[in-house]
C-alpha cells in the first residue's frame, strides 16, 4: 500500500500451456482502475495489500524483457530472492539460539540435560545451514545454479519455528500466556512463534518448496 509501482505477471498468449505465454509488466499504481486495499491481520496492522485491476491500460513500453518470456524472468527473480533469504533466515535463527541460551539461564534450566540437548541440536542445524548457504553462493560465483538455496528457505523457516517453540517450552506453564507482565520478555517468544508460522507460507509455501526440491534438485518424476 506504500508502493508506487508493481510487477505483474500476465498471460499474453492464451493458446500455449501452463508457464508459457506469460509476460512481465511494470504497472504504475496511480493508473485509473487500480484499487489497492490494505490487508489487516488480527493485530490490527496492515503489512500487505490486495490489488484490483479494472480495465487498466498498461503501455507496451512497460514490458520487462521479451513478450511471453515472463516465466524465465520469474524464475530468475525467485532464485535471487531465495539466494538472499537464507542470510536473513540463518542470522535470525542464530539470534534465536543466543536468546534461547539466555532464557534458559534466566529460567534456571541451563543445566537441564534435555534442554541442553535440544539447544545443541538446533545450534548444529544453524551451523550446517550457514555452511550450505555459503556453498550455494560459491556456486553462483562460478556461474552455475545453486540448488542448495531451494532447500534453504524451507529449512530455515521451519527451523525458526522449532527455536521459538523451545523458547515456549522453557517457560513451562507460562508458554500459553500472552500477558507481557507474566510471559518472558514481554511475550516475545509467544508472538515470535505465532509470526514464524507465516514464514512457511510467504515466499513460497513449504509444500511448494518440497515439490521444487523433489523435481528440480532430486530429479524425481512428476505423478
Per residue in 107-117, pLDDT (tens digit) is 999 999 999 99
Each residue's pLDDT tens digit, 46-74: 888 999 999 999 999 999 999 999 988 88
Q: Phi, psi (5° rounding) for residue 5?
A: -140, 160
100: CB partners within 8 A, 6+ apart: 119, 122, 163, 166, 167, 170
In this prediction the pTM is: 0.70
- Catalytically active residues, by annotation: 81
C-alpha cell of 175?
Answer: 508458554
* Average pLDDT score over residue span 122-134: 93
Name the residue range of residue 118's domain: 71-217
**213/116 same-domain check:** yes
Could you please report the per-residue DSSP string of the chain? ---SEEEEEEE--TTS-TTTTEEEEEEETTSTTEEEEEEE-TTS-EEEEEEEESS----GGGEESSTT-HHHHHHHHHHHHHHHHHHHHHHHHHHHHHHHHHHHHHTT-TT-HHHHHHHHHHHHHHHHHHHHHHHHHHHHHTTS--THHHHHHHHHHHHHHHHHHHHHHHTGGGGG---TTTSGGGGHHHHHHHHHGGGGTTTS-HHHHHHHIIIIIS-PPP-
In a domain, 222, yes or no: no
Number of structural domains in the chain: 2
**86/139 same-domain check:** yes
Look at residue 22 in the predicted model and tell me its pLDDT: 93
Confidence grade of residue 80 (pLDDT, cut at 50, 70, 90):
low
**89/175 same-domain check:** yes
**58/100 same-domain check:** no
**76/137 same-domain check:** yes
Is residue 7 scored above 70 in pLDDT? yes
Look at residue 71 in the predicted model and tell me its pLDDT: 87
In a domain, 223, yes or no: no
**Are the C-beta atoms of residues 189 and 160 closer than 8 Å to each other?**
no
**Residue where a domain stops, chosen among 64, 92, 107:** 64
In a domain, 145, yes or no: yes
CATH of the domain at 23: 2.40.110.10
CA 66 vs CA 3, 7, 26, 63, 70: distances in Å: 25, 15, 13, 7, 8
Each residue's pLDDT tens digit, 150-184: 788 889 989 999 999 999 999 988 888 878 777 77
Amino acid at each position: 500500500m506504500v508502493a508506487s509501482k508493481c510487477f505483474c505477471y500476465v498471460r499474453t498468449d492464451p493458446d500455449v500451456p501452463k508457464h508459457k505465454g506469460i509476460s512481465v509488466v511494470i504497472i504504475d499504481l496511480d493508473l485509473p482502475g487500480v484499487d489497492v486495499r490494505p490487508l489487516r491481520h488480527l493485530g490490527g496492522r496492515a503489512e500487505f495489500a490486495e490489488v484490483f485491476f479494472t480495465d487498466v491500460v498498461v503501455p507496451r513500453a512497460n514490458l520487462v524483457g521479451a513478450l511471453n518470456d515472463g516465466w524465465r524472468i520469474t524464475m530468475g527473480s525467485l532464485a535471487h530472492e531465495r539466494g538472499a533469504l537464507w542470510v536473513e533466515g540463518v542470522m535470525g535463527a542464530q539470534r534465536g539460539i543466543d536468546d534461547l541460551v539466555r532464557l534458559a539461564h534466566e529460567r534456571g534450566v541451563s543445566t537441564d540435560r534435555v534442554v541442553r540437548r535440544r539447544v545443541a541440536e538446533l545450534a548444529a542445524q544453524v551451523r550446517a545451514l550457514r555452511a550450505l548457504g555459503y556453498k550455494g553462493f560459491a556456486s553462483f560465483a562460478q556461474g552455475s545454479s545453486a540448488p542448495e538455496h531451494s532447500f534453504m528457505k524451507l529449512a530455515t523457516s521451519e527451523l525458526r519455528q522449532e527455536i521459538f517453540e523451545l523458547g515456549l517450552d522453557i517457560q513451562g506453564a507460562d508458554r500459553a500466556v500472552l500477558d507481557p507482565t507474566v510471559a518472558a520478555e514481554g511475550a516475545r517468544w509467544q508472538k515470535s512463534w505465532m509470526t514464524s508460522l507465516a514464514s512457511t507460507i510467504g515466499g513460497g509455501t513449504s509444500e511448494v518448496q518440497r515439490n521444487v526440491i523433489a523435481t528440480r534438485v532430486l530429479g524425481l518424476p512428476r505423478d
